[in-house]
Chain A
């Protein structure tokens, strides 16, 4: 069983809708991540939060807006998306923050939220 929980598992939305993806971890991890994965492709990093602060933003369009309300929760707010944004969105966490020297890079992934934009 994964210890990173993502909701919803499936989401269908129109291009004018506003929706949110949610992620929760209770492992005491200090960093949380959003990845986007298209079919048969590796995950692509979108955002990294370390100690609840945004530390990496991989030039993601503003129609994706991350939020980290506390150390256990991570949201991804979606607005005015395009059909090409349809993908599996994966949340992950790591024990150490990405900027810490002992950070090994090991990530714990949730099962993902599959988004379809019509």
Chain B
């Protein structure tokens, strides 16, 4: 069965800093991988996704993630964060038809000035 582990439930950084949010997955078959962001009192918004092809995926708001098959990771990165990036970030995996997304427990990103 597939699973997702997000390392670090809370990450705090200063505005303009580089941020790395970690996600590792477990799957016996090639996965589809997603990062979603949830701002306070809102639903989930897709940041980026990996299905096939290039392993470096660029998403909205300057975020990017790299699929690493050997390390079973899909870490999210942003070179220079803004206060408006403060939100909850969820990594999710889907491995085959007939299953719904499996979410990680989430990482709260706090960006201060």
Interface residues of A (CB under 8 A from B): 2, 4, 6, 33, 40-43, 45, 48, 56, 90, 92, 98-112, 114
Q: Are B94 and A104 in contact (CB under 8 A)?
A: yes
Give bound CA distance, A14 to B73, whole Å: 45
How many inter-chain contacts with C-beta < 8 Å in the A-B complex? Answer: 67
Contacts of B93 in A (CB 8 A): 105
Give bound CA distance, A83 to B91, whole Å: 29
Contact status of A105 and B106, CB under 8 A, knowing A2-B43, A90-B43: no
User: Chain B's nearest CB lies how many Å from the CB of A27?
Assistant: 13
Contact status of A101 and B97, CB under 8 A, knowing A42-B105, A43-B103, A106-B34: yes
Give bound CA distance, A114 to B92, whole Å: 23
Give bound CA distance, A105 to B104, whole Å: 15
Contact status of A104 and B32, CB under 8 A, knowing A42-B105, A42-B106: yes
